[in-house]
Each structure stands twice: as C-alpha cells, then as structure tokens.
Structure 1
C-alpha cells in the first residue's frame, strides 16, 4: 500500500474529529469513569465514531482497533497483518483538567510496526504526521506546514516526562542521564516534541497501551528517531496483551 496516497484523507479525518472534540472541550462536559477508573467523556466517544467511520470508508478491508472499541478477541486479531490502531483521545486527564495537552491518534500497523501516524492536538492547534522512510511534518498553530526531524542533543539533555505518570523508576532513569533539563508534555506529544527537535529523550518505565504510543511512534520513526525497550528490543504492536513494555524514545544518537 502506498501510504502517501491516503495520508491527506487520514489527516482530514483527524481534523474532523478534532473539531468535534474541541467543541466539546469548550463546553460544560461531564466526566464518567470506566471499570478501570480511567476517565471518559463524550469527546472520546464522538472522536472514536468519526475516526472509525472515516477509516472504514477509506479502507474497507483493513480492520480497526480503538481504545473505545477494544473488545475484539485475540483469536480474530492474531490474524491481522495490517490494521489501524487509534486512540480517540490520549491524555483524557489533560482533557478533563483543561491543560490542552491531549491528542487524537491514528496509526497504521504493518507486521507489528507503526508505518504511518497522524497526531492532532486540537486545543494547541497543532498536528503531526509521518510515514516510515518518507519523513515527518507538522502543522503549527498558524496553519503553516514544516518538515521536522530529530536533532543531536546539546550538552544539557532535554528529557521529556509525563506530568501525570512520573514514577520512581522513571525518575531514577532520568537521574542516571546526568546533566539534563525537564520538558513537560502531556499525552503522545512527548514523542512529537522529540520528533520536532524540541526534546531529546522520553523514558517511560510505567504502563501504557499500544494505542497510546503507536501514532506518535510512527512519526518519531519517520523523523529519524526510534523507540526501544530498555533491553534494546523494538516496541512491537498487535500483541495479545495490548500493554506496552517499558520503553525509551529518542533520536538515533541514543541507540
């Protein structure tokens, strides 16, 4: 499949969902809680419906796995060589706390690898996208589109960390890096800040799910970065257990 031929339509679908999400974000929305006590709002559901409908119209033969529709059994999923992996809203806590640091994420997975990704940050009016081997781009809040690429770190490492999920193990890893400064970012924007050259490394020694990382992982790969486990294994997708192992995202200088 030539992903560059469908990328503009995937961006359009993400923008349509983003517009709806932003409308809800700016309203007096209610917060509910799922069985695992993670928050959910009408924006999660609306984004899921718009993205799934758009992708089904675009590629009828490619299955879709979404955080808000994740009950597809492994017996079916294990036969998927290629599939869409979406997180209708990553960073629901950022959404409910109105920090603006939440994203919509659409990834194409092929043979366990994220080969195309689109990430939008509706409240920040930013969007990022990339295709493996073809580079990555971002659209800034003025609407201008730039090519983006990871950069070599300066003397002081810029470490991007989660505001909501910074545990002791991650803190210990960060301290081992030596001289550094912390760049705060929510949701999948942590990968995007590395991809655009505004940060150098993002260690995550805590739980995430495949849909949390896939789209931004694809963008970082396209921008010349990488994501691996602490043991040096690539982060893979389409597993029976959708939880990710611990990982480190960075430019190629680290690996």
Structure 2
C-alpha cells in the first residue's frame, strides 16, 4: 500500500510544483479556506491511483468533501489532503505538503507526507518511519529510518504558522517551554518523528485529512497524538453533535515516549 501512496504523492507533488512555479490565483470554499488549481489537480491524481489500486476502500478527500462527495466509511478508509498548507503555497513559502493516509479501526496506520518544494517526504507503516530524499525528477534518491528523540529537559515546541492561539501560549508557559518554532502544514508531525522537536500542541480547528498522514508517520516513529483527556486521537468521527464530520478536537502531539507515559 505504501508503494502506491508514494507514487501518488510524488506525481501529485510534481503537478503542484508546476503550478507553484507558474503562479496561480485562489478561490474561497464554503468555510472561507483557500483552494487553488494545484489542490484540485493533485487530488485528481491521487484519487486515480487510490481508486485503481484500492477500489473497495472508501476515500475521504478534502476537495471532494467540499464538493459534497462524502462516501460512507467502514473500519478502514483513506484520508487525502492533496495540498496541506495552501496559505503557505499562496504566500510562496515552501512548507506545503501532500498527505495520504490509511485509517483502520480509528487509527492512522499508514501514511505519507511529501513536501515537494523541500524535496523530502516522510512515511510510516508497521512501526517503521522513514525520511525520503526526493530528487529533481521526483524519484526517491535515498531513504533514512527515523525515530523520535527522548524528551529532553528543555523541550522544543512546534506551532502552526497560520493558526496560532492564546491557548498555545498558555500551554508553553505552563510546561516551561521557551523555544517554539512556527511552521505550516503537517510537517510539524514529521519534525517530531525525526527527533527535531518534542511537542506540537494544537488548540485551533483541524480536520482529519489535515492530520492523519503526519500522525501515522509520528506514531510509526514512536510518538503519539493525544486529546486533552490523554486519550489517542481517533479518526472516522462522524455524526458529531458539537462539530461537523471528520473535525478533530484539540490535541497534543508528542515525540519521546516519556511524555506519553506521563500523560496516558
């Protein structure tokens, strides 16, 4: 399955970079978030690969959902965010990503995150996480096994570049964290997974397709994503009385296992 994810993500990333280099305008979806032709092209490419290789697995894809195409899901389903970090993309920053994940029994178990402008991808499956180095021909040049680092005394936090909040500042103060880096897209999960940071608190709204692929990579690398009551973040949340289908609650993603044990 991960082989298909890689091919789909790399092809989608190539299409995104063609638009990135030529420039484009954006439109607004019903939730007032931006969408570009790059989002749409990338999603078509990804869906083509997934439908061909996994015709029986439902796919929840961001732009399809925005268009009202929401298949019923079962124990297993796929989550796709064809261009996470559209604001970064439009602002000519390089942190945007392609995200594809498999969810099984509420857990993200396979995932890939590709940052085409940075030439790196991250994948996770069966307890193994890798960093992939991608060349100019959009082929994998090298693979490196990655893992979270033990929680240090002085933790480094990550926060959303576009969706910071007062709750984040309080969390950092309460946990005596003085170093915090703002970065866009699902790369935050990947930096935790490769041991470059320790914690990512998120107190503003996300959707499951925003987080599933990065979360799969992080969990495969030995980290975790917990809701504020200390339970693992689950996927496939439909018929929610307080929010729309597939919306996430606030969560905290952790790198080293010691932090997980402290809060589990």
Above 0.5 in TM-score? Answer: yes
The structure 1 segments of at least 4 consecutive aligned residues displaced by more than 2 Å after TM superposition are: 140-144
Which residue of the other structure, out of 112, 121, 129, is the alignment partner of 1:118? 112
Give the drift of 1:72. 4.1
Instruction: Say if 1:141 and 1:198 are closer, same or farther in 2 by CA, change over 3 A.
Output: farther
Structure 1 match to 2:88: 94
Instruction: Determine if contact 1:45/1:68 at 8 Å carries over to the other structure.
Output: yes
Hey, what's the Cα distance between the residues in 2 that align with 1:38 and 1:32? 8
Secondary structure of 1:144's counterpart equals strand
Q: Which runs of 5+ in 1 are unaligned?
A: 1-5
CA deviations on 1:195-243 (whole Å, 9 max, x unpaired) are: 0000000000111000000000000000000001010111111111211
- Give distance in 2, aligned partners of 1:84 and 1:236: 14
Report the counterpart of residue 3 of structure 1 in structure 2: none
Provide the residue aligned with 2:175 in structure 1. Answer: 177
Which residue of structure 2 aligns with residue 62 of structure 1? 57
SS at match of 1:123: coil
Q: Which residue of 208, 212, 215 maps to 2:213?
A: 215
Counterparts of 1:141 and 1:83, CA distance in 2 = 27
8 Å contact from structure 1 (residues 94, 100) kept in 2: yes
Over the aligned positions, Cα root-mean-square deviation in angstroms equals 1.3
User: Deviations 1:110-156 (Å, cap 9, x if unpaired)?
Assistant: 111101000000111110000133x1001135632100000013332
Aligned to 2:74: 80
Shifted more, 140-149 versus 213-222: the winner is: 140-149
Q: Distance in 2 between matches of 1:149 and 1:183?
A: 20
Find the counterpart in structure 2 of residue 137 from structure 1: 130
CA distance in 1, matches of 2:219, 2:126: 6
- Residue 12 (structure 1) shift: 1.0
Corresponding residue of 2:160: 162
Cα shift at 1:170: 1.4
Aligned partners of 1:113 and 1:132: how far apart in 2?
12
User: 1:132 touches 1:218 (CA, 8 Å); kept in 2?
Assistant: no
